[in-house]
Structure 1
Amino acid sequence: MSRLLVAVAALLLPTLALADVDARFAKLRDDSEPLGGLGAFLEKYIGACEGALVDAKCKSDAEAFRKKYQGKQLYMIVVEDDAGMLSPGPYSPVTGEYTINITPFFPGGRYAMTHGAPKKSDGNGNPVLPYLTVTGMLPDGWNGQIFSRMFSMRGVRAQVVFTPQGVWSLPKKGGGKNFGVTARIDGLIVTEGRTGTQLGLWLNGKDANASR
């Protein structure tokens, strides 16, 4: 294969990974507004309106921004290097079925978006959230080691559709408060980053594979 063809194939892989997904998620994604950057969105949605040098319009601007996105579905991609919220769960070598654990905490800059509002923090001041779980069957030729290695080697990514619902706050270790955006995860698909192979799908508040 020529170098030109190799380069073209490398450019097309991310596109194929986005296109070849479950039709139910694809429809949800296509009906949503693409999010340019989570960090910038969270900054505007929460509004850092404390301190002597804050613009007097800060609170009203944040309120207007939240109103603009009330009930609106947004779409974002969590690339491999940022997908630390994905981790391998139980795997059965007998049936080939696996579980992927999703900690629904998506950091962006100083803040984070979460599925639901956390009620408490751990000893380090991090919000405590229950897992979302998705399941699947290992493809032919795979085993438990290959499955686990994908996560340790940062080989998985996620696409997320969510609806922002408000702002949460929790006491910060050492004083002050941590803020974040509570949201509803409408859909989340986990794929192998290199090939786009679907590994799991969260849809309509549950593991989509569980209903099949």
Structure 2
Amino acid sequence: MNRFLAAAFALLVPTLALADVDSRFAKLRDESEPLGGLGVFLEKYVGECDGALVDPQCKQQAEAFRKKYTGKRLYMIITEDDAGMLSPGDFNPGTNEYTINITPFFSGGKYGLSHGAPKKTDAQGNPVMNYLTVSGTAPDMWNGGTFNRMFMARGVRAQVVFTPQSVWTLPKKGGGKNYGVNARIEAVLVTEGRTGNPLGLWINGKDAGAK
């Protein structure tokens, strides 16, 4: 395979992997700007600008960055190794119907992106967030063990469409402050990492699979 064909194939594979999804999610995704890296984005958006070696223009640059991206729709992929915010919910062995819990807090470096601004932290100092829940029906050959093992083996990933709103702060355990980005999470598509098959969709403020 020559270099041109290899490059074309590399560009085509992600497109094929994302092609067979809910049309509502596809529309939001295609109207969004892809995010290169969450950690870098959060650092620039928060603009904490602490430390002796900070660029004197840091705060000005952060303000310009926030002005550019506040209210702008963005899209990111949470890979299997980073998808700790996804956890198994209930599994009905009679119908194979299940739920998946999404903690709407996405870590990137020392900061986090959340669905709305958290109001308090837990005993470990982590922001407390209410679950977003999605539902679906598993294939006939699955059971509760199969469903749970998929999460234990880091076999799920998420695609997220969000719009940044503002910076939030919370008291840090031991003193100081925690910073993060308050966002409006517009959609979360949960898929099986190995196959890309959709497992659940949260969109327009609700579970798309709810009956």
C-alpha separation between the residues in 2 aligned to 1:18 and 1:80? Answer: 16
Q: What residue in structure 2 maps to residue 65 of structure 1?
A: 65
Q: Distance in 1 between matches of 2:52 and 2:171?
A: 22
* 1:12 shift after superposition: 7.5
1:160 aligns with 2:160: yes
Deviations 1:25-77 (A, max 9, x none): 11110000000000000010001222333222211111110110121100000
**When the two structures are superposed, what TM-score results if normalisation uses the length of structure 1?**
0.91
Q: Which runs of no fewer than 5 residues in structure 1 stay unpaired?
A: 1-8
Structure 1 residue runs of 4 or more that deviate by more than 6 Å after TM superposition: none
In terms of mean alpha carbon deviation, does 19-28 or 80-89 score higher? 19-28
Q: What is the letter of the counterpart of residue 157 of structure 2?
A: R
Q: CA RMSD in A?
A: 1.8
| Matching residue of 1:3 | none
Q: Secondary structure at the residue paired with 2:101?
A: strand
Where in structure 2 are there 5+ consecutive unaligned residues? Answer: 1-8
Equivalence for 1:102: 102
Report the count of equivalent residues.
Answer: 203
Moved more, 12-21 or 158-167: 12-21
More deviation in 115-124 or 16-25? 16-25
Question: Which residue of structure 2 lines up, in the alignment, with residue 117 of structure 1?
Answer: 117
| Structure 2 counterpart of 1:137 | 137
Distance 1:146 1:12 in 2: 31
Matched residue, 1:6: none
Equivalent residues of 2:96, 2:140 under 8 A apart? no
Determine the C-alpha separation between the residues in 2 that align with 1:14 and 1:50.
Answer: 38
Amino acid at match of 1:89: G
Q: Percent identity?
A: 74
AA aligned to 1:189 is L
Secondary structure in structure 2 of the residue aligned to 1:147: helix
Aligned CA distance change for structure 1 residues 81 and 15 (closer, same or farther; 3 Å): farther
In 1, Cα distance between the equivalents of 2:14 and 2:60? 39
1:52 and 2:52 aligned? yes
Q: Is the 8 A contact 1:104 1:114 kept in 2?
A: yes
* Cα 1:147–1:16 shift into 2, 3 Å: farther
| Corresponding residue of 2:147 | 147
C-alpha separation in 2, matches of 1:111 and 1:138: 35
